[in-house]
Amino acid sequence: MARTSKRLNKAYDGLDNVAAYPVEEAVKLVKERSVVKFDETVEIAMNLGVDPRHADQNVRGVVNLPHGTGKAVRVAVFAKGDKAEEAKAAGADVVGAEDLAEQIKSGKMDFDRCIATPDMMPVVGRLGKILGPRGMMPNPKLGSVTNDVGAAIQAAKGGQVEFRVEKAGIIHAGVGKVSFSDDALVENIKAFVGAISRAKPSGAKGTYIKRVSLSSTMGPGLKIDVASVFGAP
């Protein structure tokens, strides 16, 4: 514990806990303060002026990060026949129908994203209590219920990130790795923040994007000047 505290104290040394940094400077500082031996994820957290308990203030969607997430994403697909073969050819890690549903019910969930063809939704629907809380329930509005399973798999593996506001009005996601170039991280951050901005719900009042912060997995958090990302919110 003492070593962890010493490491964090060193990481915070010289940082202004009150200041909001331009996004380019925040990226540089986050990368400079990564001293662990693994390739940390760069994480973004956004505090929004919404109350997701109200349906007209919910924020949910997907965004394609231009440089991907740097994470290997395992995709499960509910499909039969030709669509199942298409899914396998497109690189799906798990493909099935009722058999896949039984695996999930038994607790075997070796995947990060779930896609389904429309005809499989009666089967998938019975898994709502398992997939829903994990944010894995296929949804046509997010492009994960589709007959174009090949495109959906490519998007999921190529850097598509799903986002959903939590009860406290916070959205967080990984936007790359410390090993990414500064420019790649900045572009990913701008793409993510832009998607959240465009997803502003009709019921949101007052300041929509209140605060944005950036950190690495084990590093300090830095506030980002929202105006430096895409202009005044």
Based on the fold, state whether residues 58 and 122 are members of the same structural domain. Answer: no
Please tell me the predicted confidence (pLDDT) of residue 218: 86
* 30 neighbors 213 (Cβ within 8 angstroms): no
Q: For the stretch 92-121, what's the b/e string if a residue is b when 16 or more beta carbons lie within 10 angstroms of its beta carbon? A: bbbbbbeebbeebeeeebebbbbbbbeebe
Lowest mean pLDDT among 16-20, 163-167, 221-225: 16-20
Condensed to tens digits (0 to 9), the pLDDT of residues 127-153 reads: 999 999 888 999 998 999 999 999 999
User: Could you give the CA distance from residue 119 to residue 125 in angstroms, rounded to a whole number?
Assistant: 11
CA dihedral 166, 167, 170, 175 (to 10 degrees): -10
Based on the fold, state whether residues 141 and 187 are members of the same structural domain. Answer: no
| Greatest Cα-to-Cα distance within the chain, rounded to the nearest angstrom | 59
User: Residue 160 pLDDT more than 50?
Assistant: yes
CATH (domain of 83): 3.40.50.790
Please tell me the predicted confidence (pLDDT) of residue 13: 60
User: Could you give the CA distance from residue 153 to residue 171 in angstroms, rounded to a whole number?
Assistant: 24
Please tell me the predicted confidence (pLDDT) of residue 158: 87
Based on the fold, state whether residues 194 and 181 are members of the same structural domain. Answer: yes
Among 126, 157, 188, which residue terminates a domain?
A: 157
- Domain of residue 202 covers 16-69+161-230
Please tell me the predicted confidence (pLDDT) of residue 2: 43
Please tell me the predicted confidence (pLDDT) of residue 1: 42
Based on the fold, state whether residues 65 and 173 are members of the same structural domain. Answer: yes
Based on the fold, state whether residues 89 and 152 are members of the same structural domain. Answer: yes
- Domain count within the chain: 2
Based on the fold, state whether residues 83 and 153 are members of the same structural domain. Answer: yes
Condensed to tens digits (0 to 9), the pLDDT of residues 208-231 reads: 999 999 999 888 889 999 999 875
193 within domain boundaries: yes
Condensed to tens digits (0 to 9), the pLDDT of residues 30-67 reads: 998 887 889 999 999 999 999 999 989 999 999 999 99
141 within domain boundaries: yes
User: Residue 78 pLDDT more than 70?
Assistant: yes
Lowest mean pLDDT among 14-28, 69-83, 118-132, 168-182: 14-28
Closest to 45 measured CA to CA, from 184, 183, 203, 220: 220
User: Distance of alpha carbon 125 from its chain centroid, rounded?
Assistant: 23
